[in-house]
Amino acid sequence: MQNTRPRDLIRTLNTETQPRNSAQRLDTMEQTLTRPAQSTRRINWLVGAIAVAVVVILLAPAIQRMSFNVWLGALATGLGFGFVALGVYLTFRILDFPDLTIDGSLPLGAALTATLITAGMSPYLTLPIAFAGGAAAGTITALIATRLRIHSLLASILVTTGLLSINLRIMGRSNIPLLNTESIFTPFAASFRALLERLGGETLARMSNNMLAILLFALLILATKLALDWFMRTEIGLALRATGDNPQMMRALGTNTDGMVILGLAISNGLVGISGALIAQYQGFADVNMGIGLIIAGLAAVILGETLLRPNHFAIASTAAIVGMVTYRIAIAAALTISIPLPNAQNFTIDAQDVKLATAILVFVALWLSRVRQNS
């Protein structure tokens, strides 16, 4: 018996330590598996921080060279294009519908506005007409995609191609100047400039056009955002959002998902049409090619806004889209003033023809940062 007691004791100790050893092995295995993921996340964030630092270093001299009026112009343009960001968010994030129709809807809204203003119509009345024109374009795209079962991307390309000729028909030529015509700014321009001149002299008065545009655009985009936030909380708005999330379930519940897609694209392109009307009046002209590459700018705005604000519901998401568009326009304005010394005594600068390339790079960086954030 005395010889067997040590053996029994050893067996008892072994059975008691086995669960602990198993738990330790599991912890060790988990740590081993998570270390590569953690190190990968650290490397991604480190590379991201380095990329942001490089961008800041490159843009810092350019930002210092930018005049305050240029900042105001970029802010006004960003607010004017904020309607585009809201429209892109509706199609790409809510409906999951890749829609390129906005490349034709924006010049359509501008063409309608310029033609009607030169014909003597009130500039304010052209805004709902521009919305209706953009909504009609979006409806046609949705009908082609839902009724004829043509791929959404191809349907939007077909409509955008047709809008090139339609816009030329509406305008009669490729460009309509609006320099000596009435605009939504005309009723307030003189009094607002006089107010700024009394407050800050001639220096501040020279910025009156951009400041007035910022005020009016901010009021319009805020009213539109609040109305859109309210609509998305209604029964139809919730059905629209659910259609993008799970169309099969909505069809099983008896919802007309094709009708929801048509409604969503009509609202989206209607907002883009309003943006075209506002930008045409702000810039003083309407051009048939002013919508080329707009989808990239819209995507950049949505992605930048989501990266900056990380929205968790629609109200914040709509704000993020607008903030992203303003950030995008300011970044493009700053990039145009970059001047990097080269060894051959010349400077590298970004010209107007490089804006599309800069936009593509900006979207790529924003997508990459968004992916890093999701993996972290």
Which has the closest alpha carbon to 185: 283, 74, 80, 282? 282
pTM above 0.75, yes or no: yes
pLDDT band, very low/low/confident/very high, at 59 (cuts 50, 70, 90)? low
Cα end-to-end span (Å), the chain: 60
**Range from 88-92, 126-130, 193-197, 356-360 carrying the lowest mean pLDDT:** 356-360
Q: What's the rounded mean pLDDT across residues 57-73?
A: 68
Contact between 239 and 260 (Cβ < 8 Å):
yes
Higher pLDDT residue, 151 or 36? 151
Any bridge partners for residue 177, and if so which? 285
Q: Does position 1 have pLDDT exceeding 60, yes or no?
A: no
Q: Does position 85 have pLDDT exceeding 50, yes or no?
A: yes
The b/e string for 340-354 (b: 16+ C-beta within 10 A; e otherwise) is: eeeeeeeeeebeeee
Angle at the Cα of 238 (from 135 to 128), degrees rounded to 5? 25
Residue 306 lies in a domain: no
Residue 368 lies in a domain: no
Q: Describe the crossing of helices 102-118 and 257-283 by its angle, rounded to 10 degrees.
A: 50
H-helix or E-strand spanning residue 179: none
pLDDT band, very low/low/confident/very high, at 353 (cuts 50, 70, 90)? confident
Phi-psi region of 256 (alpha: psi -120 to 50; beta: other; left: phi over 0): beta
Q: In the chain, what percentage of residues exceed pLDDT 90?
A: 57
- Residue 54's pLDDT is what? 58
Residue 137 lies in a domain: yes
pLDDT tens column, 328-347? 998 888 877 776 777 766 77
pLDDT tens column, 297-323? 898 899 889 888 888 889 999 999 999
- What is the distance, to the nearest Å, from the Cα of residue 46 to the centroid of all Cα atoms in its chain? 26
Residue found under tokens 């999330």? 245
Give me the chain's average pLDDT, please: 84
Phi, psi for residue 126 in degrees, rounded to 5: -75, -20
Q: Does position 206 have pLDDT exceeding 90, yes or no?
A: no
Residue 179 lies in a domain: yes
Residue 49 lies in a domain: no
Residue 347 lies in a domain: no
DSSP codes, 51-111: HHHHHHHHHHHHHHHS-HHHHHHHHHHHHHTHHHHHHHIIIIIIS-----THHHHHHHHHH
Question: What's the residue count for the chain?
Answer: 376
Q: Choose the most confident range, by mean pLDDT, from 166-170, 194-198, 290-294, 344-348.
A: 166-170
- Residue 17's pLDDT is what? 47
- Residue 200's pLDDT is what? 82
Phi-psi region of 225 (alpha: psi -120 to 50; beta: other; left: phi over 0): alpha
Residue 247: CA count within 13 A, CB half-sphere: 12
Q: Which residues contact 304 (CB under 8 A, 6 or more apart)?
A: 323, 324, 327, 328, 362, 366
DSSP, collapsed to helix, strand or coil, labels residue 124 as helix
Contact between 322 and 86 (Cβ < 8 Å):
yes
Residue 234: CA count within 13 A, CB half-sphere: 8
Q: Which residues contact 294 (CB under 8 A, 6 or more apart)?
A: 84, 102, 103, 106, 272
- Residue 2's pLDDT is what? 47
Domain span holding position 227: 66-290
Domain total of the chain = 1
pLDDT tens column, 4-46? 455 554 455 455 444 445 555 555 555 554 555 555 555 555 6
Residue 230 lies in a domain: yes
Residue 164 lies in a domain: yes
pLDDT tens column, 166-193? 999 999 999 999 988 999 999 999 999 9
Q: Does position 196 have pLDDT exceeding 60, yes or no?
A: yes
Q: Does position 257 have pLDDT exceeding 90, yes or no?
A: yes
